[in-house]
Amino acid sequence: MTETLFLTSDEVAGLAAPAEYVDVVRDGYRQVGEGAPAEPRTKLVNRDPAGMLTTYAAILPETGAMGGYTYAAGFGAKDVWFMTPLFDADSGEPLALIDGASMNPFKTGAAGAVGVDALAREDAAEVAVIGAGAQARGQLRAAATVREFDAGRVYSPTPESRETFAAELTETLSFPVEAVDSSAAALADADVVITATNAGDPVIDDADVEPGTHITAMGQYTPGKNELPPETVARATYVPDLRDRVLQDAGSFLAAIDAGLIDEADAEAHIHAELGEVVAGSAPGRTDAAEVTIFDSGGTGIETVAAAHLLYERAVEQGLGKPISISPGSEALTGR
């Protein structure tokens, strides 16, 4: 029998700042870039009631942790629940079971920020955000920790949403965020573009993506999600979180193949490198100031384990959580 810490979403909500999430997630990607194992998402879809069960996992040996996400969405309650089991990477013993809802925008935002840091120009000064939900907030707050932006612009089809986003983030960040009435207005002179939507069609136009732009896209985690124009994907230096997920569920990349802009027979050659390989230094990032770069962030166990372990350590330090007992197989597999 071992004691495992159960942590609620409220308990972990304020335990780490965006920059701290970015630091541990960057290190997690470095470990994977140096050979630590991580797997793409596995998604099981149910038709009636409609819903999905999704999992992904990673082992971060230097962090000393392994685990991932299991989450359910839809079904009868038409909601989503995030559960994060965290294990010790040396002993295999369970360390914690975390309600992962509150950390989701922060750990996902941190992965996006690592992509910005690895691929955007050092002098990037203006940022555009397409989308105004929780994920967009997490992305911008994290990106602001790796570049000193002078100005930001946000577009969402719903005026109230973009106005609220702009007001909140202007107050939170050290630069003004303006709500604009089109994606073209958001992208004008933008050095970094963040797309955080659930759109099935591109939310920006290729003609609006200027030379030297970096794009972090996090809403294309299934073939039906296609935030980016196929032309942009085809002409950009394309870096996914995990290479193995690209032909499985990277919606905009698959759309570029369908459009004949990326040769299906040689599609893997268009994948420049995984993010971890760039972070670890085994593959180059940006090599040209005029280059368009894309980080395709579909969600992995890398940022999940890195963030969960950070929160677990903080919770232990502050005496948070409720211990629960877990029986090892040597005790529980009695066959009786």
Whether residue 94 has a cis bond before it, omega within 30° of 0: no
In this predicted structure, what is the pLDDT of residue 200? 86
User: Residue 225 pLDDT more than 70?
Assistant: yes
CATH of 120-296, one of 3.40.920.10, 1.10.10.10, 3.40.50.720, 2.40.128.690: 3.40.50.720
**Mean pLDDT, residues 179-202 taken together:** 95
Lowest mean pLDDT: which of 222-231, 242-251, 317-326?
Answer: 222-231
Task: State the SS3 of 305-335.
Answer: HHHHHHHHHHHHHHCCCEEEEECCHHHHCCC
3 state SS of 262: coil
User: Residue 335 pLDDT more than 70?
Assistant: no
Q: Can you spell out the DSSP letters for 193-219? A: EEE----SS-SS-GGG--TT-EEEE-S
Between the two ends of the chain, the Cα-to-Cα distance in Å is 18
3 state SS of 228: coil
Q: Which among 229, 213, 22, 244 is positioned nearest to 121, based on CA atoms?
A: 213
User: Residue 295 pLDDT more than 90?
Assistant: yes
User: Residue 279 pLDDT more than 70?
Assistant: yes
User: Residue 40 pLDDT more than 90?
Assistant: yes
Dist CA 152 CA 172 (whole Å): 12
Q: How many residues does the chain have?
A: 336
Strands 322-326 and 42-46: unpaired
Q: What is the pLDDT of residues 231-258, one digit of tens each?
A: 999 999 999 999 999 999 899 999 999 9
Cα separations in angstroms, 166 against 230, 237, 291: 29, 30, 29
The residues pairing with 127 across neighbouring beta strands, listed in sequence order, are 152, 192
Dist CA 317 CA 298 (whole Å): 32
Q: Which residues of the chain does CATH 3.40.50.720 include? A: 120-296
In this predicted structure, what is the pLDDT of residue 333? 79
- Work out the pLDDT band at 306, boundaries 50, 70, 90: very high
**Mean pLDDT, residues 160-184 taken together:** 97
Please state the separation of Cα 28 from the chain's center in Å.
Answer: 13
Q: What is the pLDDT of residues 41-57, one digit of tens each?
A: 999 999 999 999 999 99
pTM, 2 dp = 0.96
Domain 2-104+301-332 sits in CATH at: 3.30.1780.10
Q: What is the pLDDT of residues 76-123, one digit of tens each?
A: 989 999 999 999 999 999 999 999 999 999 999 999 999 999 999 999
In this predicted structure, what is the pLDDT of residue 336? 61
Q: What is the pLDDT of residues 127-171, one digit of tens each?
A: 999 999 999 999 999 999 999 999 999 999 999 999 999 999 999
Q: Which two tokens stand for residue 297?
A: 């962030």
Q: Which two tokens stand for residue 8?
A: 């609620």
Q: Which residues of the chain does CATH 3.30.1780.10 include? A: 2-104+301-332
